[in-house]
Amino acid sequence: MFPLQRNRRLRTNESIRSLVRETTLSPNDFMLPMFVAEGKDVKVAIPSMPGIYRHSLDNTIKEVKEAWDLGIKAVNIYVKVSDHLKDNKGVEAWNKDGLMQQTIRAIKDAVPEMIVMPDVALDPYSIYGHDGIIENGQLINDATVDALTRMSLSHAEAGADFVAPSDMMDGRVLTIRKALEENGHHNVGIMSYSAKYASAFYGPFRDALDSAPVDSQNIPKDKKTYQMDYANRIEGIREALLDVEEGADIVMVKPGMAYLDIVREVKNAVHVPVAVYQVSGEYAMVKAAAEKGWLDHDKIMIEQLYCIKRAGANIISTYFAKEAAVILNK
């Protein structure tokens, strides 16, 4: 009761605010998403994601070393697949000498302690830009899961620490976990994109990988038959709980800022670490507003990351990782 209780006493200056701060943020919380392209000495800017590039493998290693020196301990890898390697079944996805597999080996050779979490989905490999195999105008679940399992095994054999299925097929975590166990990859973890919503925030990412669904009358025009309806809350919790039962070591909520209610609900429901992906559209919005002078870039960036952490994230996959690490390290 006032005046016995004056809450502002704990806000008087930065020293007391830092002493009683409930949420802390450090580079240890970040995972850096990276885009890898074929070739040597390649650095291709992604116009819709200022400051983000597709790098060839040699430049990717430089980026990984820089991230490690900043205190970032994990990278999430995506590859830009050449059109001539794409098909409907994603066969290139489990090529032991494919770009993803080369990248995993190269990163683990260069920075052995960096945690490598390659993306597991067929959209970069698909002629249709979908996360699975299309038959009779529909994305089929079980055959896609078989393909994702082969892909996951190839990642494990290349040296991945975790595989990261982002496809939202039913039952894929259990199938992948069983295959990893049966093939001796007992210590390879699964970070499952458990509550991945069909969001418009992904647009710039699809520019980065040229992986948007193809506009055709014969196939689904979007990913709403497998990614979740953004109007739903309980469904996200159910998906996360099922993935944990099937063997997921980490569950992810995607996107980030607009879905912090889901992050908190999932955090309260599961007893494994929760990852959050602050996606390309969220990144691009901050960059665009800051470029216009409408927002203070660094203050907004750090505030958003704190909010994601406060909501319950143990891991934040963010394109801001390096910039934020520089500020936090100061």
Residue for token digits 């990412």? 205
* CA gap 10, 208 in Å, rounded: 45
Rg (the chain; Cα; Å): 20
Show the tokens assigned to 287.
């960059």
pLDDT at 289: 97
The answer to whether 39 and 55 have CB atoms below 8 angstroms apart is no
51-62: average pLDDT: 97
What does pTM read for this prediction? 0.95
* β-pair partners for 278: 318
pLDDT confidence tier of residue 206, bands split at 50, 70 and 90: confident
The answer to whether 23 and 64 have CB atoms below 8 angstroms apart is no
Beta 133-135 vs 138-140: how paired, if at all? antiparallel
pLDDT at 211: 67
**Domains of the chain, CATH where assigned:** 7-329 (3.20.20.70)
Which residues are annotated binding-site positions for Mg(2+)?
239
Show the tokens assigned to 264.
């908190």
Q: Is the pLDDT of residue 270 over 70?
A: yes
166-190: average pLDDT: 98
Which residues are catalytically annotated? 196, 254
* CA gap 161, 215 in Å, rounded: 36
Mind listing the pLDDT tens digit for each residue in 110-134?
A: 999 999 999 999 999 999 999 999 9
pLDDT, the chain, mean: 95
Show the tokens assigned to 4.
């016995």
The answer to whether 276 and 209 have CB atoms below 8 angstroms apart is no
